[in-house]
Each structure stands twice: as structure tokens, then as C-alpha cells.
Chain A
Amino acid sequence: MDKQKWEPKIVAFVCNWCTYTGADLAGTSRMKYPANTKMIRVMCSGSIDPVFILKAFERGADGVLISGCHPNDCHYNAGNFHARRRWDFFHELLDFIGIEKGRLQFSWISASEGKKFADVISKVTKDIKALGPFTDYQKMNSEFTAFFPEETAEDHEVLNKVEEIV
């Protein structure tokens, strides 16, 4: 792969009430930020299951960003507090298993922080670019492809469809 041309794929799981609205503000304010991030809107940062992140890595994401409301600002009062404890453990676990801490990043962005949203996306993109492609998981995928060609073909079909819709 040409290192010059390589652009990281980043998946952002963002909460509906703060970060997604913040992203909206960044958009309507015509702020510029890198286009590497694909956003997935969820209801609360507390409702993001770690398997979402594993799935993102499995499907070729180079980095993942999780973002929600500031503490004490949660639409559901305590969702982000619960999430904060859980993410601490998940982050440490991934680090211990051998996935760099920079691949999974977290932020609190409120609905009025369009500027912060643009900054965070720029920073995450820069960090992931510095870390390079996440080949460990992707290599596992290709070994898997060689072994189970049919199952993967089906996976890719679904993926392509999803990409078309997106």
C-alpha cells in the first residue's frame, strides 16, 4: 500500500444529544475537519457495547472515537458516568492485549462545542495517521478470508451494500 496515499478509516460512535448535535453545529458553521471519520449515532455513550468497537476493528477500522456528553450533562443523567468506568477497563484491556491506546480515543463534546468537535476529529485523525494502518486485525481478516472464502464473500457483499447506502 502506498504510504503517501493511505488515509485512515476512523469510526466514531457519538451520542445523539451532545456530540452529534455538536457535529451538526460544526457542519452548519462550515468548519473544516478531515473526512476520514464515519459517524455512527447512538442514543448515549453508555449504550455503546464494546463489541461495536471490536466489530469496527474486525471490519478494517484503523481507529475508533467514542464521544458523549460532558459529566453531569447526560440526557439520561448517569449514562456517561457508567460508561466512564467501563471504558477505563476496556481501554486497559485492549492495551494489554496489544492494541495501542491511541487507536481507541474518547472525548466529551457538548452540543455547543462545534469548534471542539472539529479539533477532536483533526487530532484523532492525526494520531491515527501517525500510528499507521492497523494491520494486526486486518491481517487476521485476510487469513480468515483464505480459510473461509464463502463466508467472507457474504460478509463483503453486506459491507458493500452498507457502504452504498452510507
Chain B
Amino acid sequence: MKDLREHTRELLEKGEIAAVIGYRQVSEMRTKPVIVTDPADAEHLVFNEYCLNNLAVYLTKARIKALCRTKDKTLKLAITAKPCDVHSIVALIQENQIHRKDIHIISFNCHGVVKDFGCEFNGDNLASKCITCETHKPLYFDKIFGEEKETPKASDQALARIQELESMTHKERFEFFKGEFDRCIKCYACRAVCPLCYCQRCITDKAIPRWIESSSHQRGNFSWNIVRAFHLSARCTGCGECERACPADIPLTLLNRRMAIEAKRSFSYVSGRSLETPTLVGSFNEKDSDELFM
């Protein structure tokens, strides 16, 4: 923690970076995102198992980008990111939303985070993304802190749920999702926290013609949740922020994870893992499978 604070203070004092997007402890088992521009404030920065937010969502915000612009040059932006958040940053760079040279990534050797604030860190309260996580060490970083520790063991319930759903009939699955989507209140929190939902104007906000009905009745909820899952398919890095932010507890990870499985199975692609490869849906291969088409 001391290293992290010293490192960021130094960078801020030297004027190499405009701001640090980081975490601040607000109570024993809760942190919140904070944007530090003053070197004296660097002492508030923390990193622990309660750093749940995916801070990559701030990188595409116009107000944050404006912080970096000075009269004669563009300053870097520092971000403290868990290894899984680095996947989101990589995806943003792949999609040309940010440049690698503009970002200073401060990452950590991560051994998992809790599923929600206020939970004690152990195998029962591990966030579902951490159970199957394979990147305890970030793939890309400029500075790394923390020691390598072992992740607590837990069972992969999300995958079991997907397999269970896939063994059902179409009608049963439809009824299941109808029940889940029925609770949706169209608050768009899932959209707000997603680092990859960066469209300046979302399709749901377009009123003429209104493609996705805005009132939260079953029909509109279906369209919204299908479109959200589709727009993120093969792009979602699986940070799970949408499900955590959802006030209605809709299992959005099921959809995202199912699409990630499809990307891996059909195209051997995992989103946000390499800066060198183009995104899956942004590119094509003439040799792609043609079996879908008559």
C-alpha cells in the first residue's frame, strides 16, 4: 500500500500524469472509486479484496479525458486495475477507444475479491469471476505491486447453472428468462457500469423509431436484455460489474458467460487478452464456418 501511494505521489509531483483513478477505503469492508489529481491526496489510495469496481469504465468518459489535456501536451492517466480490469482496458485499446501510450496501468498480483461489499473474504464469498480466473498476474502493466497469494477454492456455480439451463427445453428456458427479465426496471445500471458500453448514444435512447420500448414491461425488457447481451457478445471480458450493479438481481453473467463460451468454442477467442489481435466481431475470416447458412 505504501509503495502504491509513494509511486502515484511521485508521478503526480513530476507532472507525468494528470490524475489517478483509484480506490479509497470508506469503511472496513467497503471501498469507492476516487480520482486523485493532488499529490497530497495520494495517501488515500488503497488496494485490497474490497476493490470491486471496474475502474476502466472511467477511461472513456469525456470529463476524465479532459483532465489530461493541457495547453502544450497531453498528460497520461494512471489507473489502478485488477488483472481482470486490465482485460477491459485491453479491449478498449483494441477497439480504439483509448491509446496504450496515454494510460499508465498500475496493477496488482490479485488473489480474488469478495462478491459484495460487507462480506468477509473467504471461499464462500468469493466473486464468481474469481473462481475460474486464470490471470492472477496482469497481462499488461506499467507498475505492479502486491505479493502472489493463493485464491480460496470455491465451486463454479455459474457454469453449472448454464449447463442446467441448456439441458432444459426451449419453453422452460423462455419461462425462466421471462421470470428473470420481469424484474428489470430499466434503470440501465448494467449499461452505466460496463466499460465496454461506451456508445455516446445508446440504441435504447433513440426514440424515432423506438426500437427498444422504454417502459419496463415484459416485451421491452426482453428486447433490452437481448440487445445488451448481443452487443457485448465476444466483447465482454467477464468482469461481472453488470450483475453486481443490477438492483433486481438479474443473472446477466449467465448470458455474458454463455456468449463467451460460444466465442471460445467457435472462434477460439477470449476477449481482452491480446493487444496484437483485432477484436472478434470487428474483423472477419473468409474461412469462418458456413454451416448456419442454407
Contacts and interface: CB of A to CB of B under 8 A. Distances in A.
Identify whether the interface residues of B are mostly helix, strand, loop, or mixed: helix
Contacts of B230: 50, 89-90, 93
A99 B177 CA distance: 11
Interface string B251-293: 0000100110011001100000000000011001110111011
A84 B223 CA distance: 21
B174 A98 contact: yes
B222 interface: yes
Interface residues of B, number: 44
A72 interface: yes
Nearest to B285: A81
B126 interface: no
A147 B215 CA distance: 11
Nearest to A136: B174
B171 interface: yes
A149 interface: no
B188 interface: no
Contact of A51 (B166, B203, B294): B203
A88 interface: yes
A143 interface: yes
A152 B230 CA distance: 27
B165 interface: yes
B101 interface: no
A84 B293 contact: yes
Given A89-B230, A107-B294, A81 B259 contact: no
Contacts of A35: none
Interface in A43-65: 49-51, 54-55, 58
A88 B292 contact: yes
B258 to A, nearest CB: 5
A123 interface: yes
Contacts of A6: none
Contacts of A137: 219, 222
Interface in B211-257: 211-212, 215, 217-219, 222-223, 226-227, 229-230, 233-234, 255
A94 interface: yes
B172 interface: yes
B294 A99 contact: no
Contacts of B218: 140, 143-144
A92 B170 contact: no
Contacts of A136: 171, 174, 178
B213 to A, nearest CB: 8
A85 B286 contact: no
B261 to A, nearest CB: 9
Contacts of B176: 98
B175 interface: yes
A97 interface: yes
Interface string A105-140: 111100000000000100100000000000011001
Given A50-B227, A136-B171, A92 B258 contact: yes
B292 A144 contact: no
Interface of B: 165-166, 170-178, 203, 211-212, 215, 217-219, 222-223, 226-227, 229-230, 233-234, 255, 258-259, 262-263, 266-267, 280-281, 284-286, 288-290, 292-294
27 contacts: A50-B230, A54-B222, A55-B223, A84-B284, A85-B234, A85-B267, A85-B284, A88-B288, A89-B233, A89-B263, A93-B229, A93-B233, A93-B258, A97-B226, A98-B171, A98-B172, A98-B174, A98-B176, A99-B170, A99-B174, A100-B170, A105-B294, A120-B294, A143-B217, A144-B218, A147-B217, A151-B215
Interface of A: 49-51, 54-55, 58, 71-72, 78, 81-82, 84-100, 105-108, 120, 123, 136-137, 140-141, 143-144, 147-148, 151
Given A78-B284, A98-B171, 8 more contacts: A84-B284, A84-B292, A85-B267, A92-B258, A100-B170, A105-B294, A140-B219, A148-B217
